[in-house]
């Protein structure tokens, strides 16, 4: 892998490799873009097969955060970090505190949070060494679990989809098939039940699905049957990559709108397949931006009321995406990317912000976003 080529290709500003043999820390922090504000994104802890895989992942994820923050209307850029280690065995206070010191050296150009493989407790160790961390527990004045805010955003996004596809944003009587009965899905069901939607739900943990069935008077669906369940809306709220060559032909819905990240296995190809099947797709990073909105709120002194209010705005964001998609005859993913890029270009003054945050580490000054 040609590291600089890879960095140039995705137009990153800065990559920091963090290593401390004594505490067994090997981490990579990727700052993709700070045109709109400091980069924010979680720290993923994962047993990557090799360094190349870790670098690719952090470059991909940090770019995604730039787009998510931009489309959500936040004054934040995109960043992400990966720690190459086993989250089951390798966590120690010294590892996270050492990592926190590396985060601190970036002087606020990168703000971290929890992600796959890390928890609020880990972030509290990081917090001992740097204030550039968010997603801390409510007890310590943080924003706590983001899933209620994420779920509200998805619910509002679903309403925007319903308006686009059915001419009304009411979800009363609409059949909603939900994949996953975890935190986001459960909070989503609260809104859907209140609106009188018909919920159909599955989970690979049978107990979770059955609990939701009982609580929301929903219908239980076996995990392998969820794609072919006739529904108005299919809501992926489990894992990524689930919209692919095998599953798209099975879908019997008019809309796909859910909380999972990276739902399309191949963004271009699979969005096109959905269009050919006349299925409206709500771009995942736009509809699930409530979680980021929640942690971003912590930076200004957390207020749940304000975070929920902001997440309601996802309705208008989706309406805008559909407008561009129709006007320009482009897939909704292309429309979403365009909206995010436009905001970065019109508001971001990357060179000024870049130099004001500069700390002398290796940086790609020819960064990308055309202001
Ligand atoms: P969670 O772990 O609480 O729930 C996920 C559920 O999906 C689990 O119950 C799991 O058993 C189930 N699942 C996994 N694979 C499945 C399959 N093949 N079929 C059926 N069920 C399956 O996670 P969550 O916090 O609810 O997040 C759900 C998704 O939303 C994830 O993709 C996450 O990255 C994304 N997301 C979450 C937030 C948030 O605020 N929590 C924010 C943005 C995006």
DSSP 62-78: HHHHHHHHHHTT-S-EE
Q: How close is the Cα of 182 to the center of ligand 1, in Å?
A: 6
Tens digits of residue pLDDT in 239-255: 889 999 999 999 999 99
User: Looking at residue 352, what is its pLDDT?
Assistant: 54
Which entry of 22, 24, 68, 80 is annotated as an active-site residue? 80
Which residue minimizes the CA distance to atom 15 of ligand 1? Answer: 238
Share above pLDDT 90 across residues of the chain, in percent, rounded to a whole number: 82
Helix, strand, or coil (residue 178) = strand
Q: How close is the Cα of 11 to the center of ligand 1, in Å?
A: 30
User: Looking at residue 364, what is its pLDDT?
Assistant: 41
Which residue minimizes the CA distance to atom 2 of ligand 1? Answer: 182
Q: What gap in Å lies between CA 256 and CA 276, rounded to an integer?
A: 14
Average pLDDT estimate for 4-23: 92
User: Looking at residue 359, what is its pLDDT?
Assistant: 47
Active site residue 268: no
Torsion of CA 153, 157, 160, 162, to 10 degrees: -130
Average pLDDT estimate for 201-224: 97
Would you say residue 355 has pLDDT above 80? Answer: no
Q: What gap in Å lies between CA 176 and CA 258, rounded to an integer?
A: 10
User: Looking at residue 349, what is its pLDDT?
Assistant: 60
Would you say residue 301 has pLDDT above 60? Answer: yes
Would you say residue 280 has pLDDT above 90? Answer: yes
In Å, what is the CA distance from 101 to each residue of 20, 98, 215, 279? 11, 5, 45, 47
Would you say residue 279 has pLDDT above 80? Answer: yes
- List ligand 1's pocket residues with C-beta within 6 A: 146-147, 150, 179-185, 202-205, 208, 223, 237-239, 259-261, 288, 291
Q: What gap in Å lies between CA 141 and CA 154, rounded to an integer?
A: 26
User: Looking at residue 361, what is its pLDDT?
Assistant: 41
Average pLDDT estimate for 341-369: 56
Tens digits of residue pLDDT in 39-91: 999 999 999 999 999 999 999 999 999 999 999 999 999 999 999 999 999 99
Q: Which atom of ligand 1 is nearest to the CA of 150?
A: 40
What's the chain's average pLDDT?
92
User: Looking at residue 256, what is its pLDDT?
Assistant: 98
Q: Which atom of ligand 1 is nearest to the CA of 181?
A: 9
Q: What gap in Å lies between CA 309 and CA 291, rounded to an integer?
A: 13
Q: Which atom of ligand 1 is nearest to the CA of 242?
A: 18
Q: Which atom of ligand 1 is nearest to the CA of 294?
A: 40
Q: How close is the Cα of 213 to the center of ligand 1, in Å?
A: 17
Contacts of 294 (CB under 8 A, 6+ apart): 143, 146, 149, 150, 307, 311
3-state helix vs strand vs coil in the chain, percent to 5: 45, 15, 35
Q: How close is the Cα of 268 to the center of ligand 1, in Å?
A: 23
Average pLDDT estimate for 283-300: 94
Q: Can you list the pairs that 171-174 forms with residues at least 24 positions away whose Cβ atoms lie under 8 Å?
A: 171/195, 171/196, 171/197, 172/196, 172/197, 173/197, 173/198, 174/198, 174/232, 174/233
CB distance 243 to 270 below 8 Å: yes
Q: Pinpoint the alpha helices (H) of 12-146.
A: 51-71, 93-105, 120-127
pLDDT band at residue 366 using 50, 70 and 90 as cut-offs: very low
Torsion of CA 31, 32, 36, 42, to 10 degrees: -60
With the most atoms of ligand 1 within 8 angstroms of its CB, the residue from 237, 241, 246 to mutate is 237
Average pLDDT estimate for 283-312: 94
Q: How close is the Cα of 22 to the center of ligand 1, in Å?
A: 35
Cβ atoms < 10 Å from Cβ of 254? 19
The counts of H helices and E strands in the chain are 14, 12
Q: What gap in Å lies between CA 271 and CA 275, rounded to an integer?
A: 6
Query: To which residue do tokens 């990579």 refer?
Result: 28
Would you say residue 108 has pLDDT above 80? Answer: yes
Average pLDDT estimate for 316-330: 98
The pTM (predicted TM-score) of the whole model is 0.89
Q: What gap in Å lies between CA 212 and CA 262, rounded to an integer?
A: 24
Q: What gap in Å lies between CA 189 and CA 203, rounded to an integer?
A: 14
User: Looking at residue 9, what is its pLDDT?
Assistant: 83
Strand partners, 280: 255
Strand partners, 243: 264
pLDDT band at residue 106 using 50, 70 and 90 as cut-offs: very high
């Amino acid at each position: 892998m040609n590291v600089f080529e890879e960095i140039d290709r995705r137009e990153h500003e800065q990559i920091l490799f963090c290593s401390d043999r004594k505490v067994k820390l090997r981490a990579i922090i990727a700052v993709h873009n700070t045109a709109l504000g400091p980069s924010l994104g979680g720290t993923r802890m994962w047993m990557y097969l090799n360094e190349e895989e870790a670098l690719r992942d952090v470059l991909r994820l940090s770019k995604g955060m730039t787009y998510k923050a931009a489309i959500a209307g936040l004054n934040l850029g995109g960043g992400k970090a990966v720690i190459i280690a086993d989250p089951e065995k390798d966590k120690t206070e010294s590892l996270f505190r050492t990592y926190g010191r590396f985060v601190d050296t970036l002087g606020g150009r990168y703000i971290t949070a929890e992600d796959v493989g890390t928890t609020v407790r880990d972030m509290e160790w990081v917090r001992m060494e740097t204030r550039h961390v968010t997603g801390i527990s409510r007890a310590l004045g943080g924003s706590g679990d983001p899933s209620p805010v994420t779920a509200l955003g998805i619910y509002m996004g679903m309403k925007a989809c319903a308006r686009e596809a059915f001419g009304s944003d009411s979800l009363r009587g609409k059949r909603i098939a939900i994949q996953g009965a975890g935190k986001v899905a459960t909070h989503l069901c609260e809104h859907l039940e209140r609106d009188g939607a018909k919920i159909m739900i599955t989970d690979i943990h049978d107990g979770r699905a059955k609990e939701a069935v009982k609580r929301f008077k929903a219908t239980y669906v076996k995990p392998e049957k969820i794609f072919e369940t006739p529904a108005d809306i299919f809501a992926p709220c489990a894992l990524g990559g689930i919209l692919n060559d095998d599953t798209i032909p099975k879908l019997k819905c008019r809309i796909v709108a859910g909380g999972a990240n990276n739902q399309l296995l191949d963004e271009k190809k699979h969005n096109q397949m959905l269009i050919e099947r006349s299925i409206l797709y709500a771009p995942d990073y736009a509809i699930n931006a409530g979680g980021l909105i929640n942690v971003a709120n912590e930076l200004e002194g957390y207020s749940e009321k304000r975070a929920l209010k902001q997440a309601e705005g996802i309705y208008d964001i989706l309406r805008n995406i559909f407008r561009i998609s129709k006007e320009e005859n482009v897939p909704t993913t292309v429309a979403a990317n365009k909206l995010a890029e436009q905001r970065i270009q019109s508001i971001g003054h990357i060179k000024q912000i870049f130099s004001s945050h500069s700390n002398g580490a290796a940086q790609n000054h020819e960064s990308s976003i055309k202001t």
